[in-house]
Structure 1
């Protein structure tokens, strides 16, 4: 009975790891695509950031953060921290979208934020290890 419990736990951990990697790839793609529009100053992004009052500097900063986070999704030591930062970024996105009357436009950042929260929780051990390393 002990060996079957051990096998089930191992299989569950492997399946969980595969699910987290899948979410990480999805998040990296979403954020890389989003960053591209900001960093190339696509007209729709420029207009959106002007409407939010963040202007071009805000657009470039957020684009750079998104690209850095997308890359960090593939660096195991940084994944948990990057996902946590994405959660914070999406809280800001949801808040600003609601403040400017975005209505249903809030759904996309909310869903992406939930996915990032799942990865942040699933990779919390890497975030704790990183914090401990720098806390010495």
Structure 2
């Protein structure tokens, strides 16, 4: 089961590294998304930093399981916020599916380390 946890953890870290980096560097897609959601651009940067921090915690978690648990929990909370944002602006399921998948994956990684 440890191998499965490490694989899921790696996928999750990679996804949030990419998403966080895009938000912090101001990719056009993320800038337009935050405008669409009615959120200020400074919040995009904060969200990107939180995502990068969660991804780094997951990477450090390969050596320190407490770090992986903290990173996964941070990303669960961040993902739930993203899901609620999509629901608030009535985005389609297609637009919400990725953050929903990442929330579930984050919860699974957290639960695997918890047990």
Would you identify which runs of 4 or more consecutive aligned residues in structure 1 move more than 4 Å?
Answer: none
State the partner residue of 1:113: 103
Shift of 1:53: 2.2
5 Å-filtered alignment, 1:28-39, equals 28-39=13-24
Distance across 1 between alignment mates of 2:114 and 2:74: 12
TM-score, normalised relative to structure 2: 0.90
Q: Does 1:49 align with 2:34?
A: yes
Q: Which runs of 5+ in 2 are unaligned?
A: none
State the partner residue of 1:88: 77
Q: 1:65-87 CA deviation, whole Å, 9 max, x = no partner?
A: 11111111122231101101111
User: Number of residues paired by the alignment?
Assistant: 110
Q: Which runs of 5+ in 1 are unaligned?
A: 1-15, 126-136
User: CA contact under 8 A between 2:17 and 2:51: conserved in structure 1?
Assistant: yes
Cα-Cα RMSD: 1.2
User: CA contact under 8 A between 1:86 and 1:116: conserved in structure 2?
Assistant: yes
Q: 1:25-66 CA deviation, whole Å, 9 max, x = no partner?
A: 000100000011111101111111122222211000000011
Q: Does 1:27 align with 2:27?
A: no
Is the radius of gyration larger for structure 1 or structure 2? 1
User: CA contact under 8 A between 2:21 and 2:48: conserved in structure 1?
Assistant: yes
